[in-house]
Amino acid sequence: MSETGALRIGDVARLVGTTPRTIRYYEEIGLLPEATARPSGQHRSYSEAEVERLREVMRLKSLLGVSLEELKTLLSAEEARAVVRAQLRRDDVHPERRRALLTEALGHIDRQLELVEHRAGELAKLEQELSETRKRVRGKLRELDKAPAEAFTTT
């Protein structure tokens, strides 16, 4: 009954808007990390951070429209970045190593950015096309307003 760290799978599911089954499935295929050393049979426990992670997973899934397998690849990049961040927090790393880590992280980010930018671009294009069409239709409607002359005979 504390305020953090005592979430069970049902709570998490409700929090992020999915089902326990889905969460277990994601864990099963390696999309979510299996909580290390949980005696088989014991309940899963989630921290707020893990909930956030799941939210991010679902967000990316929805926005990028990729398979869970592809998503796993993308997220392994995130994982790698997390490791990098952890290593960087220690400041006893050699600048050379530090540079390598940062460069690696940058690579991961760039790959994701490329994907996202492409999709965002396509969607923006579609949005603009729709807006364009909308404008034309609204224009025609205004035309009807301005010139209500002619035949007012309704049938």
Partner DNA sequence: CCTTCACCTTACGTTCACGTAAAGTTTGAG
Partner DNA sequence: CTCAAACTTTACGTGAACGTAAGGTGAAGG
Chain residues in the site for DNA (CB under 7 A): 1, 6, 8-11, 19-22, 24-25, 29, 40-44, 61, 67-69
Q: Decide which of a copy of itself, DNA, none touches 109; Cβ closer than 5 to 8 Å per partner kind.
A: a copy of itself
What HEC string does 59-116 produce?
HHHHHHCCCHHHHHHHHHHHHHHHHHHHHHHCCCCCHHHHHHHHHHHHHHHHHHHHHH
Burial 24-61 (b: 16+ CB within 10 A, else e): eebeeeebbeeeeeeeeeeebebeeebeebbeebbebb
Which one, 21 or 136, has the nearer CB to a copy of itself?
A: 136
Q: Decide which of DNA, a copy of itself, none touches 52; Cβ closer than 5 to 8 Å per partner kind.
A: none
Shortest distance in whole angstroms from residue 26 CB to DNA: 7
* Element housing 54 (H / E): helix 48-64
Which one, 7 or 101, has the nearer CB to a copy of itself?
A: 101
Query: Is position 137 an interface residue for a copy of itself (rule: CB under 8 A)?
Result: yes
Shortest distance in whole angstroms from residue 6 CB to DNA: 6
Query: Is position 21 an interface residue for a copy of itself (rule: CB under 8 A)?
Result: no
Which one, 40 or 155, has the nearer CB to DNA?
A: 40
